[in-house]
Each structure stands twice: as C-alpha cells, then as structure tokens.
C-alpha cells in the first residue's frame, strides 16, 4: 500500500465524527429519538427542531401515517430493476402529474441527482430545438444546486467550488438583475436557466413574483427551458404544494427531493411533454430511482403535504411566525433582517450565526445556518402554533 504523506487538514474534528469523513462540522449532540417536532439526544435532552433535517422531515418524527406507509412498503417489493414496471412509482408519477404542470416524471435518489438529470434533459431538448451550440446552463447569483460537478458549477459558493475545479463546462452563474440576464440569455447558446424560487442555502432570499414572471417571459421568448429547483422550497414548505404555484409562474422543468419520501433518499424531475418527447431510452438512467419501497412511502408523503388543510395551516401559521420574528427583532435589537414565507425563514444576525446556533442548542432549539450571518428556520410542516411559539421563545432567549 502506498504511504500517505499528505497532511490531514481536519484531523482535529475526527473525534466528533468518529470514523466518518469529517465533511460536516457536527454539533456535539447525538440524536436518538423524536416525536412530533421534538428530538431527543442520548442524554435525554429534548430539542424543538427548526431544521427538519434541512427541509426533509415535513411530517416531523414518529409520525404514525409515515410509519404505517413504511411497513406497507416493507411488505411489498423493495427493489426491482427499472427494466421492469412497478406500480408504486407509476402511481406516484401520475399523482405528481395530476397535481402540477408536468406531463412526465423521472425519479432518482437525491436533490443533486435530480438537478444533474434535469440539466441533461434540458440540453437534450435544447439541441433538438436549436443547434449544438444551444447547451449553456445558467444559474443565479446566490444559488445552491448541489455538490456534484454540474450542480456545483451552478452553485454560487466559492469555498464549495474552488477546491474541486475544473467543474463541469458550459455552466455559468449570472447576476440576478434582469438587465444583465437579458444580455446573457442568448437564444442561440443557452439551454436552461435554473432558479430556486426561494434561494435556501444562499440566505433564504424570496425571489419576487414579478421578477420570476419577467424571467418566464424572457426564457419563453428565447426558447430557453426555465428550470425551478424546488428541492428545498417545494412540497408544501411555502404553504403551496409547489413554490411555483405561490407566484403563478410555471416552469418547464422542476426538481424535487428532500421531503418527498419522508426521509428516505429520493429525487424527482418533473417536465413538460415537449422536453420529455426529446428523451429516448438510454439517454439517462438510475439503478435505484423510483423503486417500489421509496415510491410507496412517497405516495403517502405526497398526499399528506398536498392536503389543503395542511397547506392553509402553513400559510396562516407561517405568516404569524414571520410577524413573531419581527417582534423578536424589535425587542432584542439582535436581528438585522427577517425574510421568508410559509415555514421557510431566514434571519440575519449581527454576530456569527454559528454562535447563535450554539446558544440556541443550549436553550433546546435546533437551528441551521444559511451563510455566515444568517439563521435558517424550517420547522416541520406539521408544527402547531404552540410548537412554533415554544421554539420562538427559545430563539428569543438564545438571541437575548
């Protein structure tokens, strides 16, 4: 075996991760159980969870319906090849089609995989309607689309990108202003513009409906596929099943992942028939994507997050949550700005977000950052007013 001489830069974090590769700065908390929107650590401490596993655990913890769906799934086939038909994946795709703009669905296993696949589909379509030069993928300033080569190339975070260059070619990041986009989005060279209707990791930036409408008009006029990455903001988090429905701007491609299978790995690409018609057998594939086990569970999650009563509660309680955050801002003077909608909020603080996150943990509240000075609040979608108020009180104590 060759001798490794390269120094290990993160050796000091090894005890926190044990033998796991230390790509995460893990908190010194071992989570062992949960119920509703609360998590329990190995010492028996309880936390209000405003992270939802970073927008995954829409139904919270120990949800009875989810548990039953997983048991049902386990009673059936777990996996067979995508070379054969299975009913759960077909039913799930049909439900997504019924509930959205889309005509066709491709399933995969994560958010980044959904984006990478959607980029391929956009290119396939663009070359069918244009020349081979029509292949560029354009992302926006502040975006996060994942950590593989093309998604990373569309992700605006220098520290994530720099160590791994060269990234995928033909992918660039544009300023968000309409004037420069109008210059950059060439009908001849651009295949797709990828947009998070609410930029999550980039600081919870809610893109304006009028702005998104302008992007829709511009891309339609130039036959550029408009792709919405709803991996974080979709599936109920805005109080609408899809974030595009909140702003009434319909994309050509849409990616989903995070909450779709209740914590099991799954991603999905939704698309119009026009794009789907250019994809042929062999153009793309996945061993696991849309298998019967995950699809059975996802059918349950989709029905739950599409429930009009749940969506109305997210809109109503989300608005109240935003007002409460403004109240905390006024009372503590420790918040610079509050942004968000539904159950997805970002607050800019005057001190490093990591310091507030650590103090919040001491108060029994789990938070995640979105940049060095921004806290992100993503309660499970089943959170009640009392749950939210409990978390908000802990937040105020942590800030104050």
Ligand X SMILES: Cc1ncc(COP(=O)(O)O)c(C=O)c1O
Which spans of this chain sit near ligand X (rule: CB under 6 A)?
54, 110-112, 115, 144-146, 196, 200-201, 229, 231-232, 257
Q: Which residue lies nearer to ligand X by CB, 144 or 345?
A: 144
Q: Which residue lies nearer to ligand X by CB, 227 or 295?
A: 227
Q: Which residue lies nearer to ligand X by CB, 40 or 168?
A: 168
Rounded Cα–Cα distance for residues 302 and 389 (Å): 27
Nearest approach, Cβ of residue 311 and ligand X (Å): 20
Q: Which residue lies nearer to ligand X by CB, 229 or 387?
A: 229
Rounded Cα–Cα distance for residues 208 and 177 (Å): 12
Rounded Cα–Cα distance for residues 262 and 77 (Å): 18
Q: Which residue lies nearer to ligand X by CB, 110 or 245?
A: 110
Nearest approach, Cβ of residue 146 and ligand X (Å): 4
Nearest approach, Cβ of residue 303 and ligand X (Å): 22
SS3 call for 400: coil
Q: How many CB atoms lie within 10 A of CB 92?
A: 27
Q: How many CB atoms lie within 10 A of CB 329?
A: 18
Minimal CB distance to ligand X: which residue?
A: 111
Residue 263: phi and psi, rounded to 5, are: 110, -10
Buried b / exposed e over 217-237, threshold 16 CB at 10 Å, is ebbeebbbbbbbbbbbbbbbb
Nearest approach, Cβ of residue 206 and ligand X (Å): 13
- Bridge partners for 47 per DSSP: 39
Nearest approach, Cβ of residue 174 and ligand X (Å): 17
Q: Which residue lies nearer to ligand X by CB, 171 or 324?
A: 171
Rounded Cα–Cα distance for residues 274 and 297 (Å): 29
Nearest approach, Cβ of residue 145 and ligand X (Å): 5
């Amino acid at each position: 075996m060759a001798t490794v001489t390269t120094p290990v830069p993160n050796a000091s974090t090894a005890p926190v991760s044990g033998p796991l590769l230390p790509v995460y700065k893990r908190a010194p908390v071992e989570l062992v159980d949960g119920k509703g929107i609360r998590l329990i650590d190995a010492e028996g401490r309880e936390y209000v969870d405003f992270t939802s596993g970073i927008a995954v655990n829409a139904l919270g913890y120990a949800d009875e319906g989810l548990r039953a769906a997983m048991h049902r799934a386990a009673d059936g086939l777990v996996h067979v090849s995508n070379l054969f038909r299975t009913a759960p994946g077909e039913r799930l795709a049909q439900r997504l089609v019924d509930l959205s703009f889309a005509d066709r669905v491709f399933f995969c296993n994560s958010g980044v995989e959904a984006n990478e696949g959607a980029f391929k589909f956009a290119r396939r379509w663009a070359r069918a309607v244009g020349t081979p030069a029509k292949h560029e993928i354009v992302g926006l300033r502040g975006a996060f689309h994942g950590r593989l080569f093309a998604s990373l190339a569309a992700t605006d975070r220098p520290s994530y990108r720099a160590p791994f260059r060269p990234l995928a070619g033909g992918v660039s990041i544009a300023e968000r202003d309409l004037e420069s986009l109008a210059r950059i989005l060439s009908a001849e060279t651009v295949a797709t513009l990828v947009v998070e209707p609410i930029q999550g990791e980039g600081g919870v930036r809610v893109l304006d409906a009028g702005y998104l409408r302008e992007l829709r008009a511009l891309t339609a006029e130039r036959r550029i596929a408009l792709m919405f990455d709803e991996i974080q903001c979709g599936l109920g988090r805005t109080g609408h099943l899809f974030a595009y429905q909140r702003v009434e701007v319909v994309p050509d491609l849409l990616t989903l992942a995070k909450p779709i299978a209740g914590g099991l790995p799954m991603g999905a690409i939704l698309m119009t028939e026009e794009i789907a018609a250019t994809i042929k057998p062999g153009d793309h594939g996945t061993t696991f994507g849309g298998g019967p086990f995950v699809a059975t569970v996802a059918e349950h999650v989709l029905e739950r997050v599409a429930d009009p009563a749940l969506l109305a509660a997210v809109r109503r309680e989300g608005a109240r949550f935003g007002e409460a955050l403004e109240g905390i801002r006024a009372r503590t003077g420790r918040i610079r700005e509050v942004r968000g909608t539904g159950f997805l909020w970002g607050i800019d603080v005057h001190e490093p977000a990591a310091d507030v996150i650590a103090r919040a943990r001491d108060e029994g509240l789990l938070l995640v950052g979105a940049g060095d000075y921004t806290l992100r609040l993503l309660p499970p979608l089943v959170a009640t007013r009392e749950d939210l108020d409990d978390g908000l009180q802990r937040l105020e104590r942590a800030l104050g």
